[in-house]
Amino acid sequence: MFVVYDLGWIEAPSVKRGVPVRMGLVWKGDPGVTFVTARTDRIGSSVTRTDHARELRGLAQAPFYETVEWMTLTADGPDDFLELLLGWARFM
């Protein structure tokens, strides 16, 4: 059983229907197990998430590192432009 440590929604910029968008979420250090979901607020629309990967990067100004969760989002729906909401949750 996981305990939710942090939870939130990040609103992504408007994207054109069917055009893949590459996005990344960044945390200082290692957030542990992370679930990321994407959705639209339009009825009849959907979001597909592919090519998700985790990258650890060192920070030059400190002896720490950051974690980047990369993903490609593609929106499909009845409108030319859709607002995407990117949800994330970190677990301890």
Give the pLDDT score at 92.
Answer: 63
Q: For residue 12, what are the domain limits?
A: 4-91
Question: Distances from the Cα of 78 to the Cαs of 6, 42, 75, 92, in angstroms?
Answer: 33, 9, 10, 39
Average pLDDT over residues 8-17: 82
Confidence of residue 72 (pLDDT cuts 50, 70, 90): very high
Dist. CA 22–CA 82, nearest whole Å? 15
The number of folded domains in the chain is: 1
